Every structure is written in C-alpha cells, then in structure tokens.
Amino acid sequence: MSASVPANTVRSAQEDILNAAAQCFMDRGYAATSIDDVARSLGATKGRIYHHYRSKADLFFDVYRHGMQMNFDIVAPIAEQSLPTIDKLQRMTKEHCLAMIRTQPFQRCVWEGVEMLKRGATTPEQRDVLIELQAMRDNYADIFRAVIEQAKAEGTAQFESSSIALQLMFMSLNSPLFWFRRRDGQDNDIVDEIANQCAIFALRGLGLKEELITDV
C-alpha cells in the first residue's frame, strides 16, 4: 500500500502551478497560452499540471479565484476592525493597490476574466464559472461600498452615486496593473510610495477633504 501524499505538499504543488500559470497568462494572454507553456515555465511535464487541472480553462479559473481570494484576505480583516471610517478607508485603498502590484500576474488574470465574460468568448459551461467568479468580485467590491457609504453618511466623503464612485476608485487603484513594471534595484519603499499616491488620488476622487488624507 503506497503512502499518501501530505496535504501541504499537494497545496504547495498547486501553488507552484498557479504562480507559473498566472505569469504565463499575464505575459501571453489566455488565448495564446498553452498547458505546454505553463509546464515549460514550471520546469515540469504537462502530466504534472493535468494531475491537478483537467483543462487550461480550469487552470485559468483557479488563478482568477486565487487572485480574488488574495484580495479578500488582505482587505476584509481591515474592514472588520474597529477603526474610524476614514482610517479604515485609507488602509483599504492602499492595501488593495499594493495587492495589485505585488500579485500583479494574478490580478491581470482577474481583469482578463472580466473581459472574457463581457465578450462572451466562452462555452456555456465556462460562462457559468465566470459568472460565479464575477459574483465573488462583486462581493469584494461591496466591502468597499459599505465603507465609502459610511464615510459619506459621516460627512467625510462626498459623491453622488456609490456605484460610479466605486468604479472610479477602482480605476485609480487598479491602474498599476497596466503600467507598473518592477525594475532591478527597485525596493519596497518605491512600491509603497506608488500605492500611497494611487490611494491618495482615489480618496480625493471620493471627495475626502485634503486635511483628512494622510500617508498610510
């Protein structure tokens, strides 16, 4: 009787696959990426990937799901803390932006998944999965919605529609996905300052008074 593989070993193997796949999907896009590409990036055989995922679509969806879960794990605990609303909002915006930079390959896959759903360039089965993932993304946005609406109720934020305000806020915070490129010698202080500036820009867009906005 063969010994079973420890659960943490299986998780580690899957995480390696997800990391390699996220980078490949970001570099090439979903359509141009193959399981062969991911296997080569991982230094493994296709069989290692097919042991965990039956298709490229299943792998892509898990990358998307993993990217969103990273965001929840970072932001949800802040939203649940007993902090003044303005402090909570500042921390949430900055940490979200930092996640866009630090987990960029995963977040680019989330963005591509959203675009795939809009274009309808999927099978009915795949579309059902993307709709479920979109619901996950909407639930994440609702965490921010509750906080910005509380800030508005307290008079520290000024905007008309929370839905429009959320879209504009995320456009600012998500922007590093498309222009940020890590360079040799670029330290964490530089990344932190980029996230800080994006967060300040987003907070100004929500109508926060200048004296309330501080570096996080």
What is the distance in angstroms between the CA of the first residue and the CA of the last residue of the chain? 56
φ, ψ dihedrals at 156, nearest 5°: -95, -15
User: What letter would DSSP give residue 138?
Assistant: H
Instruction: Report residue 29 as tokens.
Output: 């896009």
> pTM of the full predicted structure?
0.89
CB-CB contact of 85 with 150 (8 Å): yes
Reported as a single tens digit per residue, the pLDDT across 189-203 is: 889 999 999 999 999
Reported as a single tens digit per residue, the pLDDT across 76-116 is: 999 999 999 999 999 999 999 999 999 999 999 999 999 99
What domains appear along the chain, each with residue ranges and CATH number? 55-212 (1.10.357.10)
Residue 122: per-residue pLDDT: 80
Per-residue pLDDT of the chain (216 residues; tens, 9 = 90+): 444 444 454 467 889 999 999 999 999 999 999 999 999 999 998 999 999 999 999 999 999 999 999 999 999 999 999 999 999 999 999 999 999 999 999 999 999 999 999 988 788 999 999 999 999 999 999 999 999 999 999 999 999 999 999 999 999 999 999 999 877 767 788 899 999 999 999 999 999 877 667 755
CA distances from 59 to 37, 53, 122 (A): 13, 6, 15
